[in-house]
Amino acid sequence: MAEIFNERLLYPSYEIIGGEKFMSPAANLDHSGIISRLVTVFSNYFLEHKSGYVFSDDVDVHFSDGSLYKPDLCVILKSNEKILANRKAIYGAPDMVVEVLSHSTRRKDLTIKKDVYEAQGVREYWIIDPRAKIVSVYLLQDGKYFLDDEYILFDDADIEEAEWLKSKGEEVTIKNEIPVKIFDGLTIPLEFVFSWGY
């Protein structure tokens, strides 16, 4: 145990954002679980389709503006594998990035990081809020992000209310799956993203 602790002190995890170095705190279990489940989905997809790579937050992503990020999850398509730089690190824009909001990263994920991902050409950016159980999906179009959609995990009471509103003629849409826009045919159940011990 002491060896692991000492190794973490020798090689601390950090990001370079706007020229400034930030230490990266360890993720909590909810945060880590969300990323683990998403890695599983993408890994299985790539195992079947042989079309790309998925990496979690232990990988350095170097951008041309000098930023060094450790996204919670990034996806690189085979057509973009030149950025894998001999399997040492990622040098360039992943095709997709996922960040899970936490108290310490929320502001950077929603502003600075989002702006850099946009400027560097990350085609699809997911921001996951584990407390509100919302996934916000941004897509790049003409060099700018637009909010494609937000996916909210409703509880049973919300679903009952939605069904009641539908019965009264209201238009209510509940989206249970998130389509991954950089792929054809890959959707991820919203309940799976936010499940505990699934």
Alpha helices in 55-181 (DSSP H): 106-110, 112-120, 156-167
Q: Are 190 and 126 in contact (CB under 8 A)?
A: no
Greatest C-alpha distance within the chain = 63
> What are the tokens at 72?
């919670």
Q: How far apart are CA 36 and CA 42, in angstroms?
A: 10
Task: Provide the 8-state DSSP code for 105.
Answer: T
Please give the model's pTM, rounded to 2 decimal places. Answer: 0.81
**pLDDT per residue rounded down to tens, the chain (198 residues):** 434 333 444 445 655 656 665 556 565 667 789 999 999 999 999 999 999 999 987 889 999 988 888 899 999 999 999 999 778 899 999 999 999 988 766 566 566 889 999 999 999 999 999 998 999 999 999 999 999 999 998 876 666 656 665 666 676 667 889 999 999 889 999 999 998 765
Q: How far apart are CA 14 and CA 70, in angstroms?
A: 8
> What are the tokens at 183?
């792929």
